[in-house]
Amino acid sequence: MINPTVNKDGLPRKRGSGRTKGSNSFEYISLDDLKSYINENARVPVSKVWLRNLGFSIKNKND
Protein backbone atom coordinates (compact mmCIF):
# COMPACT_ATOMS: atom_id res chain seq x y z
CA MET A 1 0.00 0.00 0.00
CA ILE A 2 1.25 3.50 -0.87
CA ASN A 3 1.83 5.88 2.03
CA PRO A 4 -0.85 8.59 1.60
CA THR A 5 1.46 11.39 2.79
CA VAL A 6 3.91 11.12 -0.13
CA ASN A 7 3.53 11.60 -3.88
CA LYS A 8 4.24 8.86 -6.43
CA ASP A 9 7.81 10.11 -6.76
CA GLY A 10 8.33 9.69 -3.01
CA LEU A 11 8.44 13.40 -2.18
CA PRO A 12 6.22 14.63 0.66
CA ARG A 13 2.77 15.84 -0.39
CA LYS A 14 2.16 19.58 0.00
CA ARG A 15 -0.17 20.38 2.86
CA GLY A 16 -3.63 21.43 1.70
CA SER A 17 -3.33 19.87 -1.74
CA GLY A 18 -6.44 18.20 -3.09
CA ARG A 19 -10.06 18.25 -2.08
CA THR A 20 -10.99 18.31 1.61
CA LYS A 21 -12.59 15.11 2.88
CA GLY A 22 -16.36 15.40 2.66
CA SER A 23 -16.34 18.38 0.29
CA ASN A 24 -18.31 18.28 -2.93
CA SER A 25 -17.64 19.93 -6.28
CA PHE A 26 -21.29 19.88 -7.34
CA GLU A 27 -24.29 21.94 -6.31
CA TYR A 28 -27.97 21.33 -7.06
CA ILE A 29 -30.07 24.01 -8.76
CA SER A 30 -33.53 23.82 -10.29
CA LEU A 31 -33.80 24.02 -14.06
CA ASP A 32 -36.10 27.04 -13.69
CA ASP A 33 -33.44 28.91 -11.68
CA LEU A 34 -30.73 27.98 -14.18
CA LYS A 35 -32.85 29.12 -17.12
CA SER A 36 -33.19 32.57 -15.53
CA TYR A 37 -29.39 33.00 -15.85
CA ILE A 38 -28.81 31.53 -19.32
CA ASN A 39 -30.60 31.51 -22.65
CA GLU A 40 -31.82 28.40 -24.51
CA ASN A 41 -28.75 28.28 -26.76
CA ALA A 42 -26.19 28.40 -23.91
CA ARG A 43 -23.72 25.53 -23.79
CA VAL A 44 -23.67 24.07 -20.28
CA PRO A 45 -20.90 21.66 -19.16
CA VAL A 46 -22.29 18.40 -17.76
CA SER A 47 -20.80 15.10 -16.66
CA LYS A 48 -20.46 12.36 -19.29
CA VAL A 49 -21.52 9.84 -16.65
CA TRP A 50 -24.70 11.83 -15.97
CA LEU A 51 -25.49 11.97 -19.69
CA ARG A 52 -24.96 8.20 -20.06
CA ASN A 53 -27.28 7.59 -17.08
CA LEU A 54 -29.95 9.66 -18.83
CA GLY A 55 -29.59 7.48 -21.93
CA PHE A 56 -27.51 9.73 -24.19
CA SER A 57 -24.79 8.16 -26.33
CA ILE A 58 -21.38 9.82 -26.07
CA LYS A 59 -19.38 10.29 -29.28
CA ASN A 60 -15.67 11.11 -29.40
CA LYS A 61 -14.73 14.36 -31.16
CA ASN A 62 -12.43 12.33 -33.42
CA ASP A 63 -15.27 10.11 -34.72
Report pLDDT digits (tens) over 9-40.
Answer: 988 877 776 777 888 888 899 999 999 999 99
Q: Could you tell me if residue 43 is inside a domain?
A: yes
* 25: Cβ contacts below 8 Å, ≥ 6 apart: 19
Structural domains in the chain (count): 1
Q: Could you tell me if residue 41 is inside a domain?
A: yes
Give the total residue count for the chain.
63
Q: Could you tell me if residue 32 is inside a domain?
A: yes
Q: Could you tell me if residue 57 is inside a domain?
A: yes
Element (H, E) at 31: helix 31-35
Q: What is the pTM of this model?
A: 0.48
Q: Can you say whether residue 50 is alpha, beta or left, with left for phi > 0 and alpha for psi between -120 and 50 degrees?
A: alpha
Q: Which residues pair with 6 in a beta bridge?
A: 12
